[in-house]
Structure 1
Amino acid sequence: MKTRKITVALGGIFLFLSCATNPFTGKQTLALVPNSQILPMAFQQYDQFLGENKVVNGTADSEMVKRVGQRISKASERWLNANGYAGYLKDYKWEYNLVEDKTVNAWCMPGGKIVFYTGILPIAKTETGVAAIMGHEVAHALANHGQQRMSAAQIQQVAGVATAVAASGQNEQTQQIIGTAFGLGSQLGVMLPFSRSHETEADRIGLQLMAIA
């Protein structure tokens, strides 16, 4: 019991020390995986994605995506500098690309690596529509949502191992029930609401960036 208490206390200290501040909300967020690890991985995956897909260049649409991207990135820097977060984007390497794909999607990786699919342009319709979508996607990166999800996934994985160990003394059927219950509980109780809160937060931040841009 004493060992368990020490473990819990150390775990709490570790979590406290592994936090970052969301510059848009002022709230403490999980940061078990540092950006020094995340950004190089993101840049590598982005380059790999571009190499495996058809990037559109020299068209009015591709130029619009780049133009809006530049304005959104400048708006991000203006907001952060004005609110005491100068240098927050020092490791960002902004890039904006349009990719030939019918999928209705767009995304921004940590570090400012943006992709728009041609399939979403009919939905966006105008430059304003592109700005609204891009502001939302960039907001996910600026608020470190990717970092938070990776951190939450690590905690979920550790908790899963702990649950399996706790159930190891039970019969096989009981172990399966406990494992299934943990899987559903962690997904419905933690991961999915976490995702919804990120979407709502990105909506609000994205509109601010779009207005500034």
Structure 2
Amino acid sequence: MKLPLIMLSAIIALTACTSSSTGRKQVMLFSESELDKMGAASFEDMKKQTPISTDRATNDFVQCVASAITQNVAKSVHKGDWEVVIFDSAQVNAFALPGGKIGVYTGILNVTENQDQLGAIIGHEVGHVIEHHSNERLSANKLQSMGMSAATVAVGMADVENKGMWMAGLGLGLQYGVIMPYGRAHESEADIVGQDLMARSGFEPSASIKLWQNMAKLSKDAPAEFMSTHPSNQTRIKQLTEHLPVSMKYYQTGNKPQCQKPSVIPTPKS
């Protein structure tokens, strides 16, 4: 099994030549143009599959917050305009994709109490794009597939009993030892990058802490942190609280946007 694993390690060593803004080493196997095309294609599919909100007040509110955030994103991340779509869905979720795409589900507007908390959500999601997390996740999946293939060949060549058990063990080790912690690292990094971004955009950075306190009330039955791709709510609150003095340095009250949340969010159709 040594040769396939050495080959896999060599690939990782050759590609781990970049670092995120927080200093974390990154493995990225895809070009930015490839990621942009993937992001655009995925976004078009979502627009076909999920109803889009036509409520004027809701759209104005989300577009206002998103515009304030994206104005402070470097052109090296995305050169053109950002496309922002509000999906008419009860999902408590939002996302950003490479290629300047942002999706916000109306369900999350019932958790975000004001423009600052929505700024925390969009800042976090754009933080994933800024730090190339989609590239890393796709690269990790590709390396996982290569590693499993290599391990399968190696086990197949050896006279090993219970080969299925060995392969299941390797899969479990990769899933909980590499892929899931990788996801948690991305989420924590996006929290910090997003908190700085929302502060630069004029949103009160402490609102990110209140946001996750709200989220904690909704996720009492969440899985243990070890078994989740996301940090626990308490971990996120602790990390954001510790980083708050740094974010506050970027916050200027005179730069505060005036995005008015509607008093009533229409009930989603889906």
- TM normalised by structure 2 equals 0.68
The equivalent residue for 1:107 is 95
Letter of the aligned partner of 1:24 in structure 2? S
Contact 2:87–2:105, Cα closer than 8 Å, also in 1: yes
Once the two structures are TM-superposed, the CA of residue 10 in structure 1 deviates from its matched residue by: 8.9
Which of 183, 186, 189 pairs up with 1:198?
186
Once the two structures are TM-superposed, the CA of residue 56 in structure 1 deviates from its matched residue by: 1.7
Provide the rounded CA distance (Å) in 1 between the counterparts of 2:121 and 2:17. 26
Once the two structures are TM-superposed, the CA of residue 172 in structure 1 deviates from its matched residue by: 8.2
The equivalent residue for 1:162 is 150
Which of 176, 183, 186 pairs up with 2:171?
183
Which of 130, 133, 138 pairs up with 2:126?
138
Runs of 4+ in 1 over 4 A off after TM superposition: 90-93, 170-173
Instruction: Output aligned runs, 1:39-188, within 5 Å.
Output: 39-57=36-54, 59-77=56-74, 87-91=75-79, 93-169=81-157, 174-188=162-176
Provide the rounded CA distance (Å) in 1 between the counterparts of 2:31 and 2:17. 9
Letter of the aligned partner of 2:33 in structure 1? S
User: Unaligned regions of 5+ residues in structure 1, if any?
Assistant: 78-86
Provide the rounded CA distance (Å) in 1 between the counterparts of 2:109 and 2:38. 28
**Residues 4 and 20 of structure 1: CA distance in aligned 2, closer, same or farther (over 3 Å):** closer
Once the two structures are TM-superposed, the CA of residue 199 in structure 1 deviates from its matched residue by: 0.8
Letter of the aligned partner of 2:49 in structure 1? E
Letter of the aligned partner of 2:129 in structure 1? A
Higher helix share: 1
Once the two structures are TM-superposed, the CA of residue 159 in structure 1 deviates from its matched residue by: 0.7
**Residues 188 and 54 of structure 1: CA distance in aligned 2, closer, same or farther (over 3 Å):** same
Query: Percent identity between the aligned chains?
Result: 30
Question: What is the Cα-based RMSD across aligned positions, in Å?
Answer: 2.5
Contact 2:8–2:146, Cα closer than 8 Å, also in 1: no
Letter of the aligned partner of 2:37 in structure 1? P
- TM normalised by structure 1 equals 0.84
| Count of residues in correspondence between the two structures | 201
**Residues 168 and 95 of structure 1: CA distance in aligned 2, closer, same or farther (over 3 Å):** same
Which of 34, 39, 57 pairs up with 2:31?
34
Provide the rounded CA distance (Å) in 1 between the counterparts of 2:19 and 2:81. 20
Provide the rounded CA distance (Å) in 2 between the counterparts of 1:149 and 1:106. 18
Contact 1:93–1:113, Cα closer than 8 Å, also in 2: no
